[in-house]
Amino acid sequence: MPRSGRCPPQNLGVDGISNISEATLAGLEAGKDRKSSEIETSLGESFEQVLRTCSHITGNVKAAGDFASEVKWRDATARSFAQTVDGLGKLATMLNVPYEALWEDIPGWTREKVLRVKKAAAESDPLRGLYEDGNPNTTPAGDEGPSVKEKADALGVLVRAGADPEAAATQTGFEGLPFTGAIPVSLRPKEEDAARLEDKG
């Protein structure tokens, strides 16, 4: 039974295993982790099918067609908290993975805690007022939608295309954004023409 279940010796009460490093402990539990992964995949997919079947039986058409939901298992692998956080930090800095996407992988963090942290981060965002001003073209915090950078890029494209800056700001969610009247460098004409246009403004 221990062989088929890939149970490491320390989980069976074997004495004499002490003062070992985290890497060694992870190596001892590698077989168990692989076996657990197989079981989690099988049970997870089966449970998702059960939920969709129950939703179909109860007449919940939307939930019955929900193939995006997934079973999330708690990570019980043998690794230190510092090691995990270091790996998550490298994902964020070296691969540009969004920080919010990595919060769910922090050991010990539940879904409720992740939601609380996301809410606190949104409330402390200094640019929050730009996309929470009541404008129907803006996206409230917590909803999926374009980021401030994406909106700013879209605003720049519209302005460079010759659109009225104030109208472009309204369409991209920056209604009321003040403009200096200066001409972007990428669109700046000859020096004498630019001076004449800015004097008129």
Q: Give CB contacts under 8 A, 24+ apart, made by 80-89.
A: 80/22, 81/107, 81/108, 83/22
Using left for φ > 0, alpha for ψ between -120 and 50, and beta otherwise, residue 100 falls in alpha
What pTM was estimated for this model as a whole?
0.43
Q: Tens of pLDDT along the chain (201 residues)?
A: 666 666 776 667 666 566 777 677 777 777 777 888 888 888 888 999 999 999 999 999 998 999 888 888 877 776 778 888 899 999 999 988 888 889 888 888 888 898 999 888 888 776 655 555 545 444 444 555 667 777 778 877 777 777 777 887 888 888 777 777 665 555 555 565 555 655 555
